[in-house]
Copies of this chain bind each other. A is one copy, B any other.
Amino acid sequence: MPKQIVICDDHLLFLNGISELLKNTGNNYCIFKFSDVHSCRQHLIQHTADVFICDLNINHNDGFLLLEELKSQLKNTKTIILTAYYEDFLIQKAKKLGVDAFLKKETPAEELIEVIEAGKSKEFYTNKNYKQGNSVYSTMDNPIINKFRISKQEKEIIKLIIKGLTSKEIADVLFISITTVTTHRKNIHRKLEISNSSSLIKFAHENNLLL
């Protein structure tokens, strides 16, 4: 039976292009294309897939969140992040999340096909010319995060604000007091020199803080 491949990317030309590319490899692929996370999520919940290829930034949505959400659905699916952002901290984050491969869009088609054909395995794969740096990487290695000295918990709270949660709701999901959330928001504002959550969300988007 043909491999079922789901691709999610908001760059339509890329989405359609890579779809044509895969169709013409000689391998028998059944390809499902999505340019928004919502319909992609729906599909993955209702159907199984052999391979799931996902961008990191889809209409300003976090591809990581989608992968995290669907983790249980993707137990038998080879998940591949395919993105223009090729940063150490993103690769490390993907690894931790249990993603099977992390490829940059500069990848040759042959390499992508190799990865697809290799099937699901325990090995994490990223591009051959990738050299890990000499330091230990964490999710905090985003240069903007470091520059503004945003802490882990603060970052967590930023993400929940972006999701539309109120301070009360954030307090509930993080099992902390609402006054603590208030303190964190206060500190975030001071560090970023802003004074409302709209500006915070704008800042986060502009600096890819959500990745």
The interface of chain A, by Cβ under 8 A from chain B, is 10-14, 16-21, 23-24, 35-38, 59-61, 82, 84, 105-109, 112, 161-166, 194, 196-199, 201-202, 205-208
Say yes or no: A109-B12 contact (C-beta < 8 A), given A165-B198, A202-B163: yes
Contacts of A18 in B (CB 8 A): 13-14, 17
CB < 8 Å neighbour of A201 from B105, B109, B201: B201
CB pair B109 A208 closer than 8 Å: no
CB < 8 Å neighbour of A161 from B112, B164, B198: B198
* Shortest Cβ distance from A105 into B: residue: B11
CB pair B202 A16 closer than 8 Å: no
User: How near does chain B come to A179, taking the closest CB pair, in angstroms?
Assistant: 19
Say yes or no: A24-B20 contact (C-beta < 8 A), given A84-B84, A201-B198: yes
Contacts of A205 in B (CB 8 A): 59-61, 205
CB pair A16 B11 closer than 8 Å: no
Complex Cα–Cα for A162 and B60 (A):
13
Say yes or no: A10-B197 contact (C-beta < 8 A), given A21-B16, A206-B59: no
CB pair B11 A84 closer than 8 Å: yes
User: How near does chain B come to A52, taking the closest CB pair, in angstroms?
Assistant: 16
* Shortest Cβ distance from A206 into B: residue: B59
Complex Cα–Cα for A19 and B112 (A):
16
Say yes or no: A13-B60 contact (C-beta < 8 A), given A202-B162, A202-B164: no
Contacts of A12 in B (CB 8 A): 105-109
